Chain A
């Protein structure tokens, strides 16, 4: 891996450009624009050749770890293989060229895919209705909590504005509740990682709008008393929200709808293998039970019979007058939805039921092997779900080698680090999610790397605390980054 690539502006030379890409028109075509409305100075964009661009961005790409190049066991993120077919067939020219406001007559193929995707997601989640437009997990959470709020309001139940969240929840859960104008109430989990039912009973009441849960939880274990949780919340008049971040663990094994959840989002970019793209795009489709059907965000895709056969059409305000409304300019991340559709069709019902099984097999195998070589499980009495937590608090205390040090040293060994320091209630933790698409041999190699780091930590801890040694940069000064803000390149800046 090469160490550094110049900033693109440093390649700039006045008068250079990828001119084969430019239209012929000169600025004179703009002569009719009124005085005073024109731009006077040019924006700072690079002046570089096409080859400069290709080399620069190819080199930048090579500074990244990715699923295609490295094992990427980032807990809670489900970094499984993104099949190439999903990209190729979502990028057929007809799909790419289709305008979002093109008529339904020129979109029956696209709409058919979306309709069938809605149907398949309904089936695998046990929900009654699915809307595809939310563009990421947090966006789906927003839609879900907004629906819970709209439901209570439609019943004149205006006092219900409190959302209960377990303390180990993803940060997006409380942030979402706030965005929906709700108040957050956190409750603890017990020593085995299950929700503290006494605390839950004490927390619910006439102010309860609902509870947001991930199951398996962020602690990597299945919430065993989920039916009791549902009974308590429902009896108090609240609704249950399922955070689908960990859906991969149970795909084909148990359905959120059957567990008693009223509303959920699915991270299609996790469970259904659409790419993360270095931070998006995701897709956060939402599913609801019968009570929330009227509140789904628009647009949805509907199907009706016509003399020519089945026709697919958009459903909008007039079809769902109680909808929480429109959450995206057009149809969410449509191209991501096509990728998820292709993935689900390739897996089929046969493959779908294997995802949860092999994700769980891999996680439990990796946990067993890591314990064998000397690592401590955070919940040793529990089965791992699709992910698990190990804690290096002993190594941190005795050797001064922290979870962050293990993470950074793993990079030197050619493995992306697991999620670190989340969930917050387990000290010095690594949250590890191997996914079903990794082979036993890859998992064994990871165990060997972890074992080596453990032995380094005992023999030469400074080598671990000083890691990474082989990356393009060493550890970065985050404090400096936040205090001496350098957020844009300046022509005068040092290169």
Chain B
């Protein structure tokens, strides 16, 4: 019970060795009046068979709908090898690699990960991960305040086209330290950030500009012009990027004349399942000149006493366990196991495979947009070029349509009205390489019926074959 191996003989001998008569006696230093009562609010124990039955039932309640939602979390094919290796006990049940000699596997893997992420983003150095994409934007903002020594304003410009949750998280995490976030509006025709809106900051102290590519709408921003504007005005550039897209889009390190200064993003597309939002991992890469301003752990290669190469945590003087109140961040535990999955995923895909994932995802989204915009009352909301995700404009209210689709096992996208009340009838849709032409036709057919109000009961609902994820 409770995975406790003690026999009663063990317990008696152990108590004798300690010199007490009961386990209870070991708690004698805790004041009596504080001692807990029975925990009635916790149900009685279940054995593995019983919990397996319960969880399988719970899982069945959630079903396996056909999902066309993206919005920061993307359903990609995950090779079997990724989680088969990641869940090996030697990775799964190890701690943070403090004892380097007994953690060379984890340390070398992180070094390989750092190499891949730095190259993918076109930057020089990477840390060992942050919690998720949203918290990475918050950490990057705080890092920009430290790194941009010329700026005193702690003012960060963050376009409305950056993921709404990322903006909220950045505010919740960084505003306690006096960082101010100011929103840059977008062009309602193109769906991209309004470069002209930046003119009001001419001559003012701006610490950093955040640029998301592709942006939350899936629209491609003019990253070169925005980056050059920021640098011309003494601001650093924080790039927020999708790692799949980086296989085919210009990496942040090459944006504009000088490149972005910090690149962050959500690592989930790299072999991490959707899993209701986590665990995912945030990545953060930067220029070598800012390496000491980075938050989080970093692994370096060094030599042992016999001159053989080995790996170890390094630059720890930035971190909370050494620097305490003056650390670059309070982060300790990060998302190591997800980095393991991502490193294995990137190794299996390679540059060519990742490029194909990007190409296939984009092709499926174009096919989806094309199928849906053939329906009367559905059109693309923006004219700007998009990548692998797009906003549709519907002439019917979105919420009841999505509910009708959901009742048929189709999750039709994200209703944008909560975050962008000005965008009436806007629906953010996404398809990845996991969607087939049949899936897309199924969606288009269901939407057509839902929109014409002709959907009737008894229509076939989508049932997906149960396959191991």
Q: Mark out the residues of chain B between 1 and 22 whose CB falls within 8 Å of any chain A CB in the assembled complex.
A: 1-6, 10-11, 13-15, 17-20
Q: Which of B3, B163, B335 contacts A280 (CB 8 A)?
A: B335
Is the CB–CB distance between B385 and A383 below 8 Å?
no
Q: Which of A26, A113, A353 contacts B356 (CB 8 A)?
A: A26
Contact indicator per residue, chain A 74-116, by CB within 8 Å of chain B (1) or not (0) = 1001011111010111111111111111110111111011000
Known: A253-B27, A336-B279. A476 touches B333 (CB 8 A): no
The distance in angstroms between the C-alpha atoms of A474 and B349, with both chains bound, is 34
Check: B456 CB closer than 8 A to any chain A CB.
Answer: no
Check: A196 CB closer than 8 A to any chain B CB.
Answer: no
The distance in angstroms between the C-alpha atoms of A484 and B90, with both chains bound, is 30
Known: A275-B93, A326-B172. A43 touches B119 (CB 8 A): yes
Q: How far, in Å, is A94 (CB) from chain B's closest CB? A: 4
Chain A residues closer than 8 Å to B128, beta-carbon distance: 279
Is the CB–CB distance between B119 and A473 below 8 Å?
no
Q: How far, in Å, is B301 (CB) from chain A's closest CB? A: 4
Q: Which of A277, A439, A466, A475 contacts B337 (CB 8 A)?
A: A277
Q: How far, in Å, is A236 (CB) from chain B's closest CB? A: 21
Q: Which residue of B lies closest to A46 (CB)?
A: B347
Q: How far, in Å, is B54 (CB) from chain A's closest CB? A: 7
Q: How far, in Å, is A18 (CB) from chain B's closest CB? A: 4
Check: B40 CB closer than 8 A to any chain A CB.
Answer: yes
Chain B residues closer than 8 Å to A486, beta-carbon distance: 300-302
Is the CB–CB distance between A108 and B101 below 8 Å?
no
Q: How far, in Å, is A273 (CB) from chain B's closest CB? A: 8
The distance in angstroms between the C-alpha atoms of A411 and B173, with both chains bound, is 39
How many residues of chain A are within 8 Å of chain B by beta carbon?
A: 205
Interface contact tally, CB-CB below 8 A? 717
Interface size class of B (residues with CB under 8 A): 35 or more
Q: Mark out the residues of chain B between 40 and 76 whose CB falls within 8 Å of any chain A CB in the assembled complex.
A: 40-48, 51-52, 54-65, 67, 69, 71-73, 75
Is the CB–CB distance between A269 and B112 below 8 Å?
no
Q: Mark out the residues of chain B between 75 and 130 whose CB falls within 8 Å of any chain A CB in the assembled complex.
A: 75, 77, 79, 81, 83, 85, 87-106, 108-109, 111-112, 114-116, 118-120, 122, 124-126, 128-129
Is the CB–CB distance between B51 and A85 below 8 Å?
yes
Contact indicator per residue, chain A 456-476, by CB within 8 Å of chain B (1) or not (0) = 000000000010100111111
Q: How far, in Å, is A495 (CB) from chain B's closest CB? A: 9
The distance in angstroms between the C-alpha atoms of A279 and B103, with both chains bound, is 11
Is the CB–CB distance between B330 and A142 below 8 Å?
yes
The distance in angstroms between the C-alpha atoms of A244 and B29, with both chains bound, is 19
Is the CB–CB distance between B362 and A102 below 8 Å?
no
Chain B residues closer than 8 Å to A156, beta-carbon distance: none
New A-B pairs, 13, CB < 8 Å, besides A276-B94, A326-B134 = A43-B351, A60-B109, A62-B105, A64-B102, A95-B276, A97-B67, A105-B403, A123-B41, A171-B324, A179-B173, A330-B277, A358-B2, A489-B112
A and B contact pairs by CB, cutoff 8 A, 19 listed: A33-B248, A50-B348, A53-B348, A60-B104, A61-B88, A82-B92, A135-B335, A281-B278, A326-B169, A328-B135, A330-B165, A333-B279, A345-B54, A353-B36, A355-B2, A365-B17, A368-B19, A481-B314, A489-B111
Closest 5 CB pairs of A and B: A330-B277, A348-B45, A68-B89, A277-B337, A279-B336
